[in-house]
Amino acid sequence: MVGGLCFWHDPAHAQEAAEARRLGGLRRRKEGTVAGAYEFEGLDSVPKIRRLLEIATVDTLSQENSISRNRTLAYLAQMALKALEVGEHEERLAALETLLEPRQPRRKR
């Protein structure tokens, strides 16, 4: 901050700030378009992470065969196995919690 004004409010940077806002808007629109095209909804659950791995795998498979492509496929397979493992653990934990819930003492309010 020079002169008490931040980048966004300093008249000396008005043009740069306007361009930054424009680029930010373009990025958000592009992000929405790409996410929609790939049916990608985020990374906050195991099924959503699996979807990203599927997208990356299909895109990698479409590339010309190379050592780099094969390494990437091996890495994606490793990550897919980990995602399956985590998903199975989540399912088993949810089943145990459901089974044990009636045994939990009720909390007084």
Domain coordinates in residue numbering, the chain: 1-38, 42-103
Side-chain half-sphere of 44: how many Cα atoms within 13 Å? 2
- Contact at 8 Å (CB) between 60 and 76? yes
Q: Provide the pLDDT for residue 94.
A: 93
Mean pLDDT of 63-69: 96
- Report pTM: 0.57
pLDDT over 70, % of the chain: 86
Q: Report residue 11's pLDDT band, with 50, 70 and 90 as the boundaries.
A: confident
